[in-house]
Amino acid sequence: MIRYSVLRERFLSDTAAGGPGAAPALTDALERIGWRSVGEPSADELASHLVLLLDDCVHGHRDVHALCHAIASVMREVGPLLDGGLPPAEAYLPAAEEALEHYVQRTPRFDPLAL
């Protein structure tokens, strides 16, 4: 599980004046876990919603576990059905945790088209 202090540092760095904002790194994190294959909503659309959850965690409740559950709930609401049924939000918890882990990493994903 990600430590709150690490998440806070990354989020505050991203959202500081002149910073890129948290949405681009969250978009990358979602694409790293395969969200691109979901279709709708796109990774960048979902990231814009998740920024609000991160902000609430960093400036409010400070509970990374609760944040992961909130992200999993959003993924359940907007994501694809698993096995043709509607699974509990806990089914999305590993994906939520993995996305947060990718978010706090400082190294961007290599994009050969950016060269």
- In-domain check, residue 59: yes
**Number of domains the chain is built from:** 1
Does any domain span residue 90? yes
Does residue 41 lie in a domain region?
A: yes
Q: What is the pLDDT of residues 45-87, one digit of tens each?
A: 999 999 999 999 999 999 999 999 999 999 988 876 555 566 7
The predicted pLDDT at position 84 comes to: 59
Residue 111, in any domain of the structure:
no
Peptide bond into 20 cis (omega under 30): no
Instruction: Annotate 30-65 with three-state secondary structure.
Output: HHHCCHHHHCCCCHHHHHHHHHHHHHHHHHHHCCHH
Range of the domain at 28: 4-106
Decide if 36 is inside a domain.
Answer: yes
- pTM greater than the 0.85 cutoff: no
- Locus of tokens 């400036």: 59
- The answer to whether residue 114 sits within a structural domain is no
